[in-house]
């Protein structure tokens, strides 16, 4: 394919080298004449192991060259990759001046092109940037319509400095955010030969995926450092601890706890987070990430309450009182906390949880349920259909499979708030998800 790459910094230069080596005809574009001269001499404008060899090979075979002429690049290519910088402003927001300027230039060049051209944003941009900044600039300066006269896609990069070429050739996945199918098809053709899944999503989803990955990496580094600091204060080598922690791919390094939804609860997580935070404080170890976990958990409970309150009706059904389906355990249950908030605010609340109801009369938790939270247990009902019928707002509180059908087919005249993830889509009419 004929590809033009705008911005020959770290990402752009690596992409130029890798794509040209894989047989594509690549035209690198940059406002820096010095960078263009280096590219055309087969030299690398950045320090990256193995990159200069790729660039030199691309120039030697005629598959790679550089130019400062935007119009030339657009007319001589079928697809353009935007790899320009998006640095931070002083207030932390993204600086989009470079993106806007290159889109104006590309849009102007597209006026003179009759063939369909696809513009791919490879720069790291926040969700909404392509729809609110990139596409309007391209349309304004080209006089054409995105998705009709030209294509638009997002293709976030996951390249690490010093291992970028290996990361390009052996990615965990290739993410494509597409405005339309034709745009996604054009981009997928470039990566079809890589041995990695190709994930095609809406543009905003692809934009968010990149940020989520980077912030998750930052969170992991911070978490490991805080554990290391606390471990050292306890006389323990944190490296030994994390080495064993990372051996667990069933829970610790897995999808298990990585699904957006309601707050955590139960007999272990809350008390252990509090205990470790407390002991860190005793040892004068500052652990702001770990110390913030309980506060963040409380925010999620408050968010669920606010969603219920925003519907305006006082008739609410809470389906699931235990923190987890298949158990009667109410210790630190965020569902119980939510019920307490609703009762305290005067909602007409009904609760269905067959496990908790059984435990009230037969289980070891019976005394606690009947006496310690009598005001809550008195609201337990045994007839699920009746609880649903008498409520205006139905809250799916845990993953009991009996509740799933309510998220997929909301009863007429009702509103469903899904705290679990039963909903098949982000929006589902009368159903609303806590994080989707």
What is the set of active-site residues?
268
As a whole number of angstroms, the distance between CA 429 and CA 360 comes to 36
Please tell me whether 257 is known to bind a ligand. Answer: yes
Say what the alpha-carbon torsion angle 426, 427, 430, 431 is, to the nearest 10 degrees: 10
Helix (H, G, I), strand (E, B) or coil at 196: coil
As a whole number of angstroms, the distance between CA 225 and CA 429 comes to 44
- Contacts of 252-256 with C-beta under 8 Å, sequence gap 24+, read none
Please tell me whether 163 is known to bind a ligand. Answer: no
As a whole number of angstroms, the distance between CA 387 and CA 357 comes to 14
Please tell me whether 66 is known to bind a ligand. Answer: no
Please tell me whether 225 is known to bind a ligand. Answer: yes
Please tell me whether 161 is known to bind a ligand. Answer: yes
Please tell me whether 10 is known to bind a ligand. Answer: yes
Please tell me whether 11 is known to bind a ligand. Answer: yes
Please tell me whether 259 is known to bind a ligand. Answer: yes
Please tell me whether 35 is known to bind a ligand. Answer: yes
DSSP output for 313-353:
-SEEEEE--SSSTT----TT-HHHHHHHHHHHTT-EEEEE-
- 341 phi-psi bin (left φ>0, alpha ψ -120 to 50, beta other): alpha
Please tell me whether 222 is known to bind a ligand. Answer: no
Please tell me whether 124 is known to bind a ligand. Answer: yes
Say what the alpha-carbon torsion angle 113, 116, 122, 124 is, to the nearest 10 degrees: 80
**184 closest CA partner among 194, 174, 173, 195:** 174
Please tell me whether 408 is known to bind a ligand. Answer: no
Please tell me whether 130 is known to bind a ligand. Answer: no
CA angle at residue 369 from 364 to 375, to 5 degrees? 175
Please tell me whether 111 is known to bind a ligand. Answer: no
- Residue 394 pairs in a beta bridge with 317, 416
Which residues are documented as binding site for GDP-alpha-D-mannuronate? Answer: 161, 210, 214, 217, 225, 256-257, 259, 262, 265, 324
Which residues are documented as binding site? Answer: 10-11, 30, 35, 86, 124, 161, 210, 214, 217, 225, 256-257, 259, 262, 265, 271, 324, 331
Which residues are documented as binding site for NAD(+)? Answer: 10-11, 30, 35, 86, 124, 271, 331
């Amino acid at each position: 394919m004929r590809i033009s790459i705008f911005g020959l910094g770290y990402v752009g230069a690596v992409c130029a080298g890798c794509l040209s080596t894989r047989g594509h005809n690549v035209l690198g574009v940059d406002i820096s004449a010095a960078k263009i001269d280096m590219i055309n001499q087969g030299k690398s404008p950045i320090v990256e192991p193995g990159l200069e060899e790729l660039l030199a090979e691309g120039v030697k075979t005629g598959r790679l060259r550089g130019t400062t002429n935007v119009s030339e690049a657009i007319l001589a290519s079928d697809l353009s990759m935007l790899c320009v910088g998006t640095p931070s402003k002083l207030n932390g927001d993204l600086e989009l001046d470079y993106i806007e300027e290159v889109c104006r230039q590309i849009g102007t060049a597209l006026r003179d092109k009759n063939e369909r051209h696809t513009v791919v944003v490879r720069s790291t941009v926040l969700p909404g940037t392509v729809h609110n900044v990139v596409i309007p600039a391209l349309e304004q300066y080209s006089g054409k319509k995105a998705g009709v006269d030209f294509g638009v896609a997002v293709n976030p990069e996951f390249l690490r400095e010093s291992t970028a070429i290996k990361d390009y050739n052996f990615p965990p996945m290739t993410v494509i955010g597409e405005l339309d199918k034709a745009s996604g098809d054009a981009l997928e053709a470039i990566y079809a030969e890589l041995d990695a899944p190709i994930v095609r999503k809406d543009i905003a989803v692809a934009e968010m995926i990149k940020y989520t990955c980077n912030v998750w990496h930052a969170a992991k580094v911070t978490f490991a450092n805080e554990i290391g600091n606390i471990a050292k204060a306890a006389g323990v080598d944190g490296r030994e601890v994390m080495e064993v922690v990372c051996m667990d791919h069933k829970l610790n390094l897995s999808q298990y706890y990585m699904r957006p939804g309601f707050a955590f609860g139960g007999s272990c997580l809350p008390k252990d987070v509090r205990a470790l935070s407390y002991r860190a404080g005793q040892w004068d170890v500052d652990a702001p990430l770990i110390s913030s976990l309980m506060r963040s958990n409380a925010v999620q409970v408050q968010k669920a309450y606010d969603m219920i309150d925003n519907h305006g009706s006082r008739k609410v059904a809470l389906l699931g009182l235990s923190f987890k389906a298949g158990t009667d355990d109410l210790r630190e249950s965020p569902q119980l906390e939510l019920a307490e908030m609703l009762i305290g605010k005067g909602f007409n609340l009904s609760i269905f949880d067959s496990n908790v109801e059984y435990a009230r009369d037969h289980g070891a938790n019976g005394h606690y349920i009947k006496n310690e939270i009598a005001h809550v247990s008195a609201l337990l009902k045994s007839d699920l259909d009746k609880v649903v019928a008498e409520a205006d707002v139905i809250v799916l509180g845990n993953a009991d499979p009996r509740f799933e059908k309510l998220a997929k087919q909301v009863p007429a005249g009702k509103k469903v708030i899904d705290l679990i993830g039963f909903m098949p889509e982000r929006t589902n009419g009368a159903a609303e998800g806590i994080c989707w």
